[in-house]
């Protein structure tokens, strides 16, 4: 038991790697064995996280279950991990979605072992970002998570589709998408890379609590031959760009539609479900605490980008003929709300004494974090459902569907349910978070929020359009007799998601409480 | 400490090489087994030295000194410090894996292994030498076998040209440094070549500023510094696999290391004065090397230019003259050595089966060479500086050092990270994934057990060092401390 | 006449023994059966005799710590003389071994005799401390060598070589004699040690004297611009003779040069060192550059080695230019290493041309497969010539450059270093022929190059010597330093 409590986070973090090593030794032809083993071991981090949730002390400030080991002493970086309310949410999301994604992957037939191993390694990468309390470790896991996803898209992504890169040279769409994904993200992270180094050199320490304190204490003087405020501004934007690419925020979003569309189903689930949250988490964990003044100054710009994401995301979604791409753009749209909430909170800042504004800021942040969680659920669900129908019809073109509801009523029901959550129907989770964000941003960033409403309108439009194309209307003769209903395994994948969507929609207190306490403690 | 372990390590390859020459040309099995045994022994001893090195004390350890030419103050002096001990280990690793990879050489294996081992003795000798004359002695011994190895066993199309170019370039570099070293000998007034004594020679600043560029750049030619790097890509490509491994993996480190030992450590004032512009040469290496690698059509040339780029990082680390930069450079020498050994071995394995290195003609190799592909992927991740692997452990401190000196260079150099990622992923994709051209069907045989062992060994090292920097960084740090003491005190 | 003291006899022991050996060979010759065994027998006898003389000299004829005048100051028994004498004896022994299996040279005792006579002359050259003795010694050396060069009377090239050598040699000897007589004219003395007083300042007459003397010595040493004879003579002469010419004869010239200039003209060293420096530069450069022209299939290896020898004279001269103990020592060491290496190189040339019948570069194709051991020895020799460790050539070059830099001749060291690069190029190219290129038809196993016993022995000793001068350096350096100290 001691081991468990003292090293709980390390266990959660590295269990997937251990599991991957175990899988390495399994014979690669035993597909069933591999799949079930992978699923079983992926449940363990989830169970450990639930345990963590129960043991987590609400209302206690700072990081809990901290562990710190020497790592790279020469440059003053330690392996320092810990959870607070914010990261706990994200860890829960990750460890929840993982088993579901693996369960969803049971229909993969090529190189199953490699696939499962990569997924497990990916899980560690993502968990590491959420759990790290050392800036260098944060970066390590940030980058590490890119590699498994690159290969997952590259090797198990959609087989059809080509992109022309230049002068008639055509490559497979998944190759294009995966390379674009990794290069884009790495390029975006260059600024982060450099800024982190600068911080490490300047303060001879990478520990987050130390950096929060020291970096904020540094307000005047010169550094590197420039004034501190200039350096801080540049570093701020460097951080912002890196996270903006990940969220993704317009105009850094162009990698997403390709990556999401070409990724295998489970890959898209995790991409949209968790990976995008890494960017938002970066904003909350690093940008706001390290650069409160700059965040406040440039909150308007951030809000602008967020609103562009919301609006353009929804417009683009509306215009899609590819079902998966439609869902992909919807992610841009939904994550825009996250950033809007963050921007609002940034604008108010931590020093405001106006109670009303503080309340709004609080709402906005709560909404943003909850939206992160919610979108994780609904996006994973939506992508999975797209995968379900693709598997049966081998097309993602909306025009090829039509009136499928009578043929696959259960599927249709689930699809409608999930879409409604995505749309923000009251009673389901999406409404709660979006409402909080809008309520929080309206007093602070009125114009932006107003424009965002257009996006919200179109969100409804594209979702309904999507459902209509797939489920409603005259039955498409092509599929009569060729379409099998959603099976048990697939329902099992959706069930937890749907349950959570409903529960959070009706009774959000259990989760909002955790979020609220975390947000309040972090951002006052 | 009286067991002369360093001289044994240095001379095992030579003795083994001479022994091999005594075999009859058709005793191929005996030749190979002797080579493997000697290499394994050398590696074992290097591991012992590595582990036994006392980090808490630091400084030069395992000292041995034998009189050689007392009239000139030359002695055969061996010793290792924190910077050289990882390099000795690296040489042991590359030597053993090089022998393993060369198991299949059919044309005059006797001479091949003999020359390769003479080369190895030279390399070990330079890393362990604490006498300036003997450093050159071993340095030249490490140069001339390259000519023979490339010209006889290299790639038919360019071997004659590449071998001659390489040898002349390296020789020119070394004699330029030699003149500088002899001038140092004369100017110190100490009438000795003993480097430990020369560290305290107190050369005048004017002398140091004048002679540092000759000494440093002369050695840095072997490190591949721009604009004297031109011998390297052609040399890499023309050489047979094991020789490329040695060349990029160890030989280029010789140059950088000697530049450190003789240039920076003995002429610190000169170093401080000139690094301001040498840092730009290193920057060109990094960025230019990466861009050129991107446009290559021959698989091996990509790796060759990537070596030029990565060695630029080593020299960049040196040029910062900061603890972080020097530490990073020390680790990078080791990390890059292992990584590039894997790269060239993989290239060789593909070439031996496909008989082409044109990227456009290759594809889908992972189907028949899965371990090679995975090894290559891991090495690619190291080359991109991906955290979790040794490349990150090496590159990150170098950038930190840059922040302390010229941060703008850090920003420009960071571009190379993305370019590197792009070209290496593209190469991985085109060669190992995708469709295999039908002409290769049935011709791609599997790799043998020795090849597999070598690949696994390299991967374990790269991942191990990436996850646990404390496996090497503390050693390097003790060496760096000494260098900094010389820089500060001078 | 005063009784000849034992010390005197010991001082000239090598010369006396050489004379004895020569007479012995001459006497034995008519009585030796004129059959197959004779060819080898006589040679082995001579070689054995030389070995005995060599051993005797080392054990008995060693000089003391102070140089001694001998025979009324005609000769000087010091370490310089001793060192060079044992080189000559060794070189002669090895050359005799090369003669043993060479057609025409082994048929008559005359060839051995001439060699012994030349060696005698060289020993005298090394120890000569008097102007007259000097000239006598030089002529005693040269005339037998002229004949040996042209020994192959049926061969046009050999005849031409002998004739050219004699003509050039005679002419330069005459000029040398004139210079020596001028020296006598100034000082009124023939003893070298007493000349220095008259040459205390650099007058035009001093310049003239030096110049004239230099003509003769430069010829012997093949220094620019008196090197023109060397390529043709080396190419045409029987190869063993070429080997001897390029090493021992050149070394003898150096011995004289060193002794003469350091003893007789020390005060004006600043001037003549400059002259020698410039000549050395030109020698090295010209020698190396023209050697490049031989790098084609039709090129001649003997000509290549001739140009290489010319260049090496330049390198050795750098040591002399650094007018110091270390400088002379480095030059002596250089000559030791060079002697061993060049003899080895020429030995291999002979071994191959015996079987192939050609001295062209193309004949070396595929040698590594025809006789790997021979190829390895050539590798050792050429790498030593190019100045690579662990061979004597490396140590020698570094030694010479160090001495030069110590005396401030940095530019000269740089020239030497740059020239080494050119040298490396052509040495490596020949090695490329040996190791990479194949014979026509690629059937090297059918055309091995066997080595007979004398060659095997000689080459083995030489190769080991080349390696030893690079690895176990101290004894040789001590010898060289002792030699140098006697002059200062």
pLDDT at position A241 over 70? yes
Out of C383, C406, C421, the one facing B168 most closely (by C-beta) is: C421
pLDDT score recorded for residue C423:
92
Q: Which pLDDT band, with edges at 50, 70 and 90, does B490 fall under?
A: very low
Handedness of CA A141, A146, A147, A149 (dihedral sign): positive
Flag if C389 and B148 touch (Cβ within 8 Å): no
pLDDT score recorded for residue A367:
92
Could you read off the pLDDT of A32-77 as tens digits, one per residue? 888 999 999 999 999 999 999 998 888 787 888 888 888 888 888 8
Residue C405 touches chain B, beta carbons under 8 Å: yes
Contact residues, B window 138-177, toward A, CB-based 8 Å cutoff: none
Shortest alpha-carbon distance between residue B288 and chain C (Å): 29
Residues of A in contact with B381 (CB under 8 A): 147
Flag if B417 and A183 touch (Cβ within 8 Å): no
Could you read off the pLDDT of A428-462 as tens digits, one per residue? 998 999 999 999 999 888 899 999 988 888 888 98
Q: Given the structure tokens 């011998």, which residue do they identify?
A: B231
> C67 or B387: whose pLDDT is higher?
B387
Flag if B108 and C368 touch (Cβ within 8 Å): yes
pLDDT score recorded for residue A357:
86
Flag if A74 and B418 touch (Cβ within 8 Å): no
Helix axes A8-24, A85-104, angle to 10 degrees: 20
Shortest alpha-carbon distance between residue B151 and chain C (Å): 7
Distance CA A313, CA A320 (A): 11
pLDDT score recorded for residue A480:
81
Contact residues, C window 331-390, toward B, CB-based 8 Å cutoff: 368-369, 372, 376, 379, 383, 388-390
User: ipTM of the predicted structure?
Assistant: 0.86
Distance CA A388, CA B35 (A): 59
Across all residues in chain A, what is the average pLDDT? 89
Cβ-Cβ contacts under 8 Å between B and C: the total is 91
pLDDT score recorded for residue B157:
87
Out of A74, A154, A175, the one facing B397 most closely (by C-beta) is: A74
Contact residues, B window 417-436, toward A, CB-based 8 Å cutoff: 417-418, 421-422, 425-426, 429, 433-434
Residues of chain C with pLDDT under 50: 1
Residues of B in contact with C399 (CB under 8 A): 72
Q: Which residue of B has its CA nearest to A111?
A: B367
Domain ranges of chain C: 269-488
Residues of B in contact with A197 (CB under 8 A): 396, 399-400, 403, 410
Shortest alpha-carbon distance between residue C82 and chain B (Å): 20
Shortest alpha-carbon distance between residue A62 and chain B (Å): 27
Residues of B in contact with A73 (CB under 8 A): 470, 473-474
Nearest to A247 by CA among A331, A318, A142, A189: A331
Could you read off the pLDDT of B268-322 as tens digits, one per residue? 988 989 988 999 999 999 999 999 999 999 989 999 999 999 999 999 999 999 9
Could you read off the pLDDT of B105-148 as tens digits, one per residue? 888 888 899 999 999 999 999 999 999 999 999 999 998 899 99
pLDDT score recorded for residue C415:
92
**Interface probe, candidates B407, B416, B465, chain A, greatest A C-beta count within 10 A:** B407
pLDDT at position A5 over 80? no
pLDDT at position A418 over 70? yes
Task: Provide the phi-psi class of C438: left if phi over 0, else alpha when psi is between -120 and 50, else beta.
Answer: beta
Flag if A75 and B421 touch (Cβ within 8 Å): no
pTM: 0.88
pLDDT at position B149 over 80? yes
pLDDT score recorded for residue C74:
82
Nearest to C173 by CA among C224, C122, C123, C137: C137
Q: Which pLDDT band, with edges at 50, 70 and 90, does B260 fall under?
A: very high
Shortest alpha-carbon distance between residue B393 and chain A (Å): 8
Distance CA A344, CA A303 (A): 7
Shortest alpha-carbon distance between residue A188 and chain B (Å): 10
Q: Which residue of C has its CA nearest to B76?
A: C471
Residues of B in contact with A144 (CB under 8 A): 386-388
Out of B72, B148, B186, the one facing C405 most closely (by C-beta) is: B186
Residues of C in contact with B21 (CB under 8 A): 376
pLDDT score recorded for residue C37:
62
Residues belonging to chain A with any Cβ–Cβ distance to chain B shorter than 8 Å: 70-75, 136, 139-141, 143-144, 147, 150, 154-155, 175, 179, 182-183, 186-187, 190, 193-194, 197-198, 200-202, 224
Flag if B474 and A74 touch (Cβ within 8 Å): yes
Across all residues in chain B, what is the average pLDDT? 90
Could you read off the pLDDT of B405-446 as tens digits, one per residue? 888 898 899 888 989 999 999 899 888 887 888 888 777 888
Neighbours of chain B (3+ CB pairs under 8 A): A, C
Shortest alpha-carbon distance between residue B29 and chain C (Å): 19
Residue B25 touches chain A, beta carbons under 8 Å: no
Residues of C in contact with B72 (CB under 8 A): 399, 402, 477
DSSP collapsed to 3 states, chain B = CCCCHHHHHHHHHHHHHHHHHHCCCCCHHHHHHHHHHHHHHHHHHHHHHHHHCCCCCCCCEEEEEEEEEHHHCEEEEEEECCCHHHHHHHHHHHHHHHHHHHHHCCCCHHHHHHHHHHHHHHHHHHHHECEHHHHHHHHHHHHHHHHHHHHHHCCCCCHHHHHHHHHHHHHHHHHHHHHHHHHHHHHHCCCCCEHHHHCCCCCCHHHHHHHHHHHHHHHHHHHCCCCCCCHHHHHHHHCCHHHHHHHHHHHHHHHHHHHHHHHHCCCHHHHHHHHHHHHHHHHHHHHHHHHHHHCCCEHHHHHHHHHHHHHHHHHHHHHHCCHHHHHHHHHHHHHHHHHHHHHHHHHHHHHHHHCCCEHHHCCCHHHCCHHHHHHHHHHHHHHHCCCCCHHHHHHHHHHHHHHHHCHHHHHHHHHHHHHHHHHHHHHHHHHHCCCCCHHHCCCCCCCCHHHHHHHHHHHHHHHHHHHCHHHCHHHHHHHHHHHHHHHHHC
pLDDT score recorded for residue A43:
93
Could you read off the pLDDT of B2-60 as tens digits, one per residue? 688 899 999 999 999 999 988 888 888 889 999 999 999 999 999 999 999 888 888 88
Q: Which residue of C has its CA nearest to B67?
A: C474
């Amino acid at each position: 038991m001691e081991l468990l409590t003292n090293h709980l986070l390390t266990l959660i973090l590295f269990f997937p790697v251990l599991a991957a090593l175990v899988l390495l030794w399994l014979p690669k032809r035993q597909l069933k064995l591999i799949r079930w083993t992978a699923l079983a071991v992926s449940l363990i981090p989830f169970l450990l996280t639930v345990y963590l949730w129960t043991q987590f002390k609400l209302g206690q400030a700072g990081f809990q279950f901290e562990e710190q080991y020497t790592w790279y002493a020469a440059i003053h970086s330690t392996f320092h991990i810990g959870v607070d309310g914010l990261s706990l949410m994200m860890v829960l999301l990750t460890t929840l979605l993982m088993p579901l994604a693996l369960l969803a992957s049971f229909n993969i037939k090529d190189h199953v072992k490699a696939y499962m191993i990569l997924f497990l390694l990916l899980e560690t990468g993502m968990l590491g970002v959420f759990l790290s309390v050392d800036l260098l470790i944060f970066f390590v896991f940030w980058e590490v998570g890119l590699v498994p996803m690159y290969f997952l898209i590259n090797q198990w992504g959609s087989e059809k589709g080509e992109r022309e890169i230049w002068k008639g040279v055509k490559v497979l769409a998944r190759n294009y998408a995966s390379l674009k994904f990794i290069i884009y993200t790495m390029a975006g992270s260059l600024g982060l890379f450099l800024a982190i180094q600068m911080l490490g050199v300047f303060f001879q320490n990478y520990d987050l609590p130390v950096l929060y304190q020291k970096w904020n204490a540094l307000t005047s003087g010169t550094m590197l031959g420039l004034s501190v405020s200039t350096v801080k501004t540049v570093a701020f934007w460097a951080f912002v760009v890196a996270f903006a690419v990940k969220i993704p925020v317009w105009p850094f979003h162009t990698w997403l539609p390709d990556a999401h569309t070409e990724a295998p189903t489970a890959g898209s689930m995790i991409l949209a479900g968790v990976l995008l949250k890494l960017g938002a988490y970066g904003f909350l964990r690093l940008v706001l605490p390290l650069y409160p003044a700059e965040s406040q100054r440039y909150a308007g710009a951030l809000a602008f980008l967020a609103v562009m994401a919301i609006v353009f995301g929804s417009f683009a979604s509306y215009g899609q003929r590819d079902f998966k791409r439609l869902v992909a753009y919807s992610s841009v749209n939904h994550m825009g709300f996250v950033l809007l909430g963050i921007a609002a909170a940034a604008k108010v800042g931590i020093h405001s004494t106006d109670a009303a504004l503080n309340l709004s800021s609080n709402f906005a942040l709560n909404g943003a974090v909850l939206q992160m969680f919610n979108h994780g659920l609904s996006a994973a669900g939506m992508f999975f459902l797209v995968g379900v129908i693709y598997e049966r019809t081998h097309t993602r073109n909306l025009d090829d569907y039509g009136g499928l509801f009578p043929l696959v009523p259960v599927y249709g029901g689930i699809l409608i349910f999930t879409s409604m959550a995505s749309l923000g129907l009251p009673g389901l989770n999406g409404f709660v978070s979006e409402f909080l964000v809008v309520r929080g941003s309206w007093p602070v960033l009125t114009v932006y929020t107003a424009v965002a409403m257009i996006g919200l309108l179109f969100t409804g439009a594209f979702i309904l359009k999507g459902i209509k194309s797939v489920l409603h209307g005259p039955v498409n003769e092509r599929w009569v007799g060729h379409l099998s209903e959603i099976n048990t395994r697939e329902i099992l994948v959706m069930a937890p998601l749907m349950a959570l969507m409903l529960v959070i929609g009706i009774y959000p207190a259990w989760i909002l409480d955790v979020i609220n306490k975390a947000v309040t403690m972090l951002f006052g | 400490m009286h067991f002369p372990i360093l001289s044994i390590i240095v001379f095992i390859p030579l003795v083994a090489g001479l022994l091999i020459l005594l075999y009859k040309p058709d005793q191929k099995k005996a030749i190979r087994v002797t080579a493997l045994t000697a290499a394994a022994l050398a590696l074992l001893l290097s591991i012992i030295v590595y582990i036994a090195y006392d980090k808490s004390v630091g400084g030069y350890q395992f000292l041995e000194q034998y009189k050689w030419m007392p009239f000139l103050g030359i002695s055969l002096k061996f010793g290792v410090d924190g910077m050289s001990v990882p390099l000795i280990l690296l040489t042991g690793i590359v030597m053993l894996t090089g022998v393993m990879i060369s198991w299949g050489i059919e044309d005059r294996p006797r001479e091949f292994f003999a020359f390769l081992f003479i080369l190895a003795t030279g390399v070990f000798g330079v890393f362990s030498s604490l006498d300036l004359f003997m450093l050159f002695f071993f340095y030249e011994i490490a140069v001339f076998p390259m000519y023979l190895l490339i010209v006889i066993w290299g790639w038919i199309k360019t071997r004659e040209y590449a071998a001659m170019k390489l040898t002349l370039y390296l020789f020119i570099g070394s004699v330029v440094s030699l003149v500088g070293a002899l001038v140092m000998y004369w100017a110190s007034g100490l009438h000795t070549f003993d480097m430990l004594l020369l560290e305290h020679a107190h050369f005048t600043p004017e002398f140091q500023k004048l002679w540092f560029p000759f000494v440093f750049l002369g050695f840095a030619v072997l490190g591949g510094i721009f604009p004297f790097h031109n011998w390297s890509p052609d040399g890499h490509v023309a050489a047979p696999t094991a020789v490329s491994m040695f060349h990029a993996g160890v030989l280029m480190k010789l140059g950088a290391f000697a530049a450190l030992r003789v240039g920076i450590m003995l002429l610190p004032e000169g170093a401080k004065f000139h690094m301001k512009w040498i840092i730009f040469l290193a920057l060109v290496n990094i960025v230019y090397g990466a861009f050129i690698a991107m446009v290559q059509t021959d698989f091996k040339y990509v790796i060759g230019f990537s070596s030029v780029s990565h060695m630029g990082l080593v020299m960049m680390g040196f040029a910062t003259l900061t603890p972080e930069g020097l530490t990073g450079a020390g680790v990078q020498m080791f990390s890059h050595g292992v990584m590039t050994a894997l790269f060239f071995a993989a290239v060789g394995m593909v070439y031996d089966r496909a008989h082409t290195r044109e990227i456009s003609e290759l594809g889908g190799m992972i189907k028949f060479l899965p371990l090679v592909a995975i090894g290559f992927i891991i090495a690619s991740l190291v080359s991109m500086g991906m955290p979790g692997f040794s490349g990150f452990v090496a590159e990150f401190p170098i950038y930190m050092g840059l922040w302390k000196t010229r941060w703008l260079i850090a920003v420009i150099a960071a571009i190379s990270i993305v370019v590197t990622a792009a070209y290496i992923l593209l190469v991985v994709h085109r060669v190992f994934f995708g469709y295999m051209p039908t002409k290769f069907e049935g011709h791609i045989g599997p790799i043998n057990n020795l090849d597999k062992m070598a690949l696994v060994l390299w991967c374990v090292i790269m991942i191990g060092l990436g996850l646990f920097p404390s496996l090497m960084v503390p050693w390097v740090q003790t060496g760096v401390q000494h260098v900094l003491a010389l820089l500060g005190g001078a | 006449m005063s009784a000849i003291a034992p010390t005197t006899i010991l001082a000239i022991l090598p010369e006396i023994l050489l004379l004895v050996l020569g007479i012995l060979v001459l006497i034995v010759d008519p009585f030796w059966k004129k059959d197959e065994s004779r060819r080898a027998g006589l040679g082995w006898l001579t070689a054995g005799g030389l070995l005995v003389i060599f051993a005797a000299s080392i054990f008995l004829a060693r000089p003391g710590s102070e140089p001694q005048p001998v025979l009324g100051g005609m000769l000087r028994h010091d370490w310089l003389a001793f060192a060079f004498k044992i080189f000559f004896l060794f070189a002669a022994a090895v050359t005799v071994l090369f003669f043993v299996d060479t057609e025409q040279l082994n048929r008559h005792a005359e060839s051995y005799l001439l060699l012994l006579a030349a060696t005698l002359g060289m020993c005298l050259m090394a120890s000569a401390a008097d102007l007259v003795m000097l000239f006598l010694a030089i002529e005693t050396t040269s005339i037998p060598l002229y004949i040996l060069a042209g020994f192959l009377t049926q061969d046009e090239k050999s005849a031409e070589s002998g004739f050219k050598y004699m003509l050039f040699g005679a002419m330069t000897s005459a000029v040398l004699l004139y210079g020596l007589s001028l020296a006598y004219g100034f000082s009124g003395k023939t003893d070298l040690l007493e000349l220095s007083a008259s040459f205390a300042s650099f007058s035009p007459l001093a310049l003239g004297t030096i110049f004239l003397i230099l003509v003769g010595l430069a010829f012997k040493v093949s220094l620019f611009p008196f090197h023109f004879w060397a390529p043709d003579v080396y190419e045409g002469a029987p190869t063993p003779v070429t080997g001897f010419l390029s090493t021992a004869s050149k070394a003898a010239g150096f011995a004289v040069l060193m002794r003469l200039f350091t003893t007789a003209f020390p005060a004006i060293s600043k001037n003549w060192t400059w002259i020698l420096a410039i000549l050395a530069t030109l020698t090295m450069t010209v020698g190396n550059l023209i050697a490049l022209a031989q790098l084609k299939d039709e090129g001649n290896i003997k000509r290549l080695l001739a140009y290489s020898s010319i260049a090496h004279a330049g390198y050795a001269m750098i040591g002399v230019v650094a007018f110091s103990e270390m400088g002379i020592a480095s030059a002596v060491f250089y000559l030791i290493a060079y002697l061993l290496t060049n003899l080895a190189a020429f030995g291999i040339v002979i071994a191959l041309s015996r079987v192939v019948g050609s001295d062209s570069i193309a004949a070396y194709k595929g040698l590594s497969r025809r006789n790997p051991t021979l190829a390895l020895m050539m590798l050792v020799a050429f790498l030593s010539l190019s100045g690579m460790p662990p061979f004597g050539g490396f140590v020698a070059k570094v030694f010479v450059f160090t001495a030069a830099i110590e005396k401030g001749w940095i530019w000269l060291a740089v020239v030497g270093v740059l020239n080494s690069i050119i040298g490396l190029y052509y040495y490596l190219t020949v090695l490329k022929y040996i190791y990479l290129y194949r014979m026509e038809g690629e059937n090297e196993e059918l055309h091995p190059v066997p080595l007979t016993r004398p060659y095997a022995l000689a080459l083995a000793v030489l190769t080991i010597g080349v390696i030893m001068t690079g690895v176990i350096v101290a004894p040789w350096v001590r010898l060289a330093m002792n030699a140098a100290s006697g002059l200062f």
